[in-house]
Structure 1
Amino acid sequence: MKNHRIQRLIGALVLTGLLGVAVAAFPTAEAEPAPAPPSSKPTLHAWPMFGGTPARNFVNEVDTGIPITWSTAPGKEKNIKWSAKLGGKAYGGPIISGGRVYVGTNNMDPRNPEIKGDKGVVMCFNESDGKFLWQSVHDKLLGGRVNDWEYEGLASSPYVEGDKLWYVSNRCELVCASTDGLAAGNKGVTDEKYNSKTDADIIWRLDMMKYLGVFPHNLSACSPLVIGDTVFVTTGNGVDEGHKNVPNPNAPSFVAVDKNTGAVKWTNNDPGSHIMHGQWSSPAYAEVNGKPMVIFGGGDGWIRAFNPADGTLLWKFDGNPKKSVYTLGPEGTRSDYLATPVIYKNKLYIATGQDPEHGKGVGHLWCIDVTKTPTNKDKDLSPVNDNFDPKAPENKDSALVWHYGGNAPEDFERTFYFGRSISSCCVHDGLVYAAEFAGILHCLDAETGKVYWEHDLHADTWSSPFYVDGKIYMGDDHGKISIFQAGKEEKLLGVVQTARGQVHVRSTPVACNGTLYFMTENPCTLWAVATK
């Protein structure tokens, strides 16, 4: 995260001994069956979580009339509904629910001048006019950049349900807060450090370092998933400053927590000592033939599905060739996940990737059949012997539907077909839209993996493609949002330069209630765009 990016540690405190003894101190809760999830289509009036629904698919089939042209230039504004200043960087959100907009940022441009210095911040605004309502401010961890990289702020996108929201702070805490802030009274804990009327009302918090022994690497970034009464998160457990050891391999990587109390229901530490770097993906949910599953991308490059009620492993899938090797930098061939699994018609779509500081390199885009039941004791649904042909006899028990990526022949324009990605997929009308970190947007057939088109954004991208009103919106690191006609033929409708200078659009643009929301850095601003 050097300057703008998550990167390897330069120096910090290793807390192995302290962390190892704290697990038993936190209460646990008995497991209970997980109810059916919300609809797989976002409903009008809300985009309440990262990806809109538990399937995590960045698709809005409700809204129409979203602009494809606008201007943020002072004195030349066009289709700007409102804008709101943020900190200096902004990764979390935008999330829209209950007439409010939530984002994760930092404290470089303080809302409260009495709160000084580097912090992680959730900000809440009125959806109608952008009025600032309240903020949740979190101090930095004492361990330094190995656990909480400076000025990166709060990267989690909140999950909002009713009058509560859940997010993961930069301090590796799972936090439940009231949507109303302290101005409406204190409904939860009474030990908030920041307690003015424009501060957050914290209901409960689970310190995953203190009580679960987690050692987050660089930044805690998971966007929680709530199903029924349970919150699911990836803890962010990772390696130490030397990038050689996992300080606490017994700490959980995946946890289920009671959404009302913060009590831990179950944990899983499967990657353990095999974690390669950090864990920055977020969980997704699927229900197949009445069987629910919560799905995580792990820091060892494997995808795992668990029974939401008790944490029983249902299946796992290796997203890398067996001969791949993880090394720091662009030469490494084994990767993990910064992207989040996306579920569409009983299939899972995800791309492998690495910390962007490691550079560009070979990646893999997968389509996985989540209805497949493993036949081996390891519950492994991976392709066999690095044969990525789903029709191969050795893959008869694999969940592989198709694969795109890997090394390319010499006559190909690059050394690989698909590069590392930190973007989640967008799947609509039988098409997958997937972006590489290098700024190549791909459109493929969702059933077969056939490539229909590729587009070079001419800039790196951290953003994910977003579908609304027959169009794909795609942000990039040069501050542009490119708008494409959705479909099998490449058709660029327009490119909007959101601002001049070293501007970035690193979060994903999202549309809700006729308005497109996106965040820029340099200047760090939340924009609401609507046709006027």
Structure 2
Amino acid sequence: VVAGGKVFVGTNNDQPRDPKIKGDKGVLMCFRESDGKFLWQAVHDKLPSGQENDWPHQGVASAPVVEGGRVYYVSNRCEVICADAEGSGQDKEAPRILWRLDMANDLKVNPRYLANCSPLIVGDLLFVVTGNGVAGMGEKLEVPEPTAPSFLAINKKTGKVAWQDHSPGDKIMAGQWGSPAAAEVNGKTQVVFPGGDGWLYAFEAETGKPIWKFDCNPKDATPYKPGGRGQRSFIVATPAIYDNKVYVGLSQEPDNDGQGAGLFWCVDMTKTGDVSPERVISANPLKTEPNKDSALVWSYGGSKMMGGDRGYPFGRTLSTPAIHEGLLYVADIDGVFYCFDALTGKKYWEEDFKATTWSSPYWVDGRIYIGTDDGEVQICAHGKEKKLLGKVDMGTPIKGPVVVTNGVLYVMTGKQLFAIAAK
């Protein structure tokens, strides 16, 4: 994140900036935007519970948000942190922590592998997906704290919880690794949370009053099973909002569950209630009927839609789509990159990068940039016709999106942060 003349990056302590700080840690680093000078770092110890709640060497995976001289992020310890973006006033020292909300101790949240939400600010509220998830390994997975909040609204000035919601409850399949999005619809600001139960939930931002919910899995999908053996999936990507519509794709846990059939959805935000495509009228035997109040605009993919060499047309995705001038760009984990009409779902083209892809696309100056696990930044021309402009090998995998600001392209790989500008 680039803000206020500074660059903020979440990382680990595998290459320590301070030789006195040793071992595996979560770290938020701050650099000067103009020349990359290291300014300060906030260091967080690992959780004593180990990898089930704080996976080794993942560090701080939250992309911070910066406003009013404050930087907000979620630490590897499942804490929401508000720090002074200027640091401590002393060169290279840790920043002043203005407030800290310990979601694990104070709210009984059980993060699965890692709390990684990228917070969202709307007005005076900071919105967070807590990361509450299952415990255990193998087949025996259960949610130890189903009433702990999945979604939070926090007063950005004080760190006090304004409202909370635990709608996913004991239906969380694994973890909750997505981040919220927000938009004004029908005169009210909605905040949309991706749930670990595979549902999208929308609330009034100020009050937390539910507005609508949408089941992103077909009702007859087989239950989720670790190892990628079930069809039901959850949401890891951050939803994108465009023209009163939410766009998001389904995934499973990418390391343990791997690749498989995915579904991509476009949902109308102007409706209320349960706006899923189907309603269940009988649980056993399962019988459904079309939902007359459905907010489905279009979808693409799924286990029943055959296509391509993989046996499915769209894979599981961690990618937050980029939308510009009515065209939507998104990638799946398999490394296939797609261009759709954002309003109708018509697919204009696709390209197989031949490398798995966790990253999200970024539009700037008529071009789309996206990183791959092969360490390449792929560059495509914006438009309904496929035009590949080239690729740049950065050496190591690129898991996050590139960022462009003030004429500089920032690329973060697994080992380095690059700032690239024209000569």
- The answer as to 2:246 corresponding to 1:246 is no
Structure 2 letter corresponding to 1:338: V
**Structure 1 residue 308, shift from structure 2 partner:** 1.2
Please tell me whether the aligned partners of residues 286 and 292 of structure 1 are also in contact (alpha carbons under 8 angstroms): yes
- The answer as to 2:388 corresponding to 1:497 is no
**Structure 1 residue 311, shift from structure 2 partner:** 1.1
Residue 410 to residue 426, structure 1, CA distance change in 2 (3 Å): closer
Give the match for residue 55 of structure 1.
none
Identical columns (%): 53
**Structure 1 residue 198, shift from structure 2 partner:** 2.1
Query: What is the aligned counterpart of 1:345 among 237, 243, 248?
Result: 243
Give the match for residue 278 of structure 2.
384
Structure 2 letter corresponding to 1:282: S
Give the match for residue 399 of structure 1.
295
Please tell me whether the aligned partners of residues 261 and 301 of structure 2 are also in contact (alpha carbons under 8 angstroms): yes
Give the match for residue 510 of structure 1.
403
- The answer as to 2:189 corresponding to 1:292 is yes
Counterpart mapping for 1:88-487 below 5 A = 95-183=1-89, 197-242=92-137, 243-324=140-221, 325-357=223-255, 358-372=257-271, 374=272, 379-384=273-278, 394-407=290-303, 412-487=308-383
Structure 1 letter corresponding to 2:407: G
**Structure 1 residue 310, shift from structure 2 partner:** 1.7
Q: TM-score, normalised by structure 1?
A: 0.76
Runs of 4+ in 1 over 6 A off after TM superposition: none
**Structure 1 residue 472, shift from structure 2 partner:** 0.3
Structure 1 letter corresponding to 2:263: H
Residue 114 to residue 302, structure 1, CA distance change in 2 (3 Å): same
**Structure 1 residue 411, shift from structure 2 partner:** 6.7
**Structure 1 residue 177, shift from structure 2 partner:** 0.3
CA distance in 2, matches of 1:261, 1:291: 24
CA distance in 1, matches of 2:363, 2:356: 20
**Structure 1 residue 414, shift from structure 2 partner:** 2.5
Give the match for residue 284 of structure 2.
none
**Structure 1 residue 416, shift from structure 2 partner:** 1.3
CA distance in 1, matches of 2:418, 2:69: 24
CA distance in 1, matches of 2:87, 2:262: 42
Give the match for residue 418 of structure 2.
527
CA distance in 1, matches of 2:350, 2:120: 32
Please tell me whether the aligned partners of residues 461 and 506 of structure 1 are also in contact (alpha carbons under 8 angstroms): yes
**Structure 1 residue 412, shift from structure 2 partner:** 4.2
Q: TM-score, normalised by structure 2?
A: 0.95
Please tell me whether the aligned partners of residues 408 and 414 of structure 1 are also in contact (alpha carbons under 8 angstroms): no
Give the match for residue 13 of structure 1.
none
Please tell me whether the aligned partners of residues 484 and 492 of structure 1 are also in contact (alpha carbons under 8 angstroms): yes
CA distance in 2, matches of 1:430, 1:410: 26
Residue 197 to residue 495, structure 1, CA distance change in 2 (3 Å): closer
**Structure 1 residue 117, shift from structure 2 partner:** 0.6
Name the structure with the higher strand share: 2
CA distance in 2, matches of 1:248, 1:385: 28
**Structure 1 residue 307, shift from structure 2 partner:** 1.1
Greater RCO, 1 or 2 (C-alpha within 8 Å, sep 6+) = 1
**Structure 1 residue 288, shift from structure 2 partner:** 0.8
Please tell me whether the aligned partners of residues 98 and 162 of structure 1 are also in contact (alpha carbons under 8 angstroms): no
CA distance in 2, matches of 1:332, 1:486: 36
Structure 2 letter corresponding to 1:361: G
CA distance in 2, matches of 1:518, 1:152: 18
Deviates more, 1:196-205 or 1:230-239: 196-205
**Structure 1 residue 394, shift from structure 2 partner:** 3.6
Please tell me whether the aligned partners of residues 118 and 140 of structure 1 are also in contact (alpha carbons under 8 angstroms): yes
Please tell me whether the aligned partners of residues 509 and 518 of structure 1 are also in contact (alpha carbons under 8 angstroms): yes
Structure 1 letter corresponding to 2:80: L
**Structure 1 residue 124, shift from structure 2 partner:** 0.4
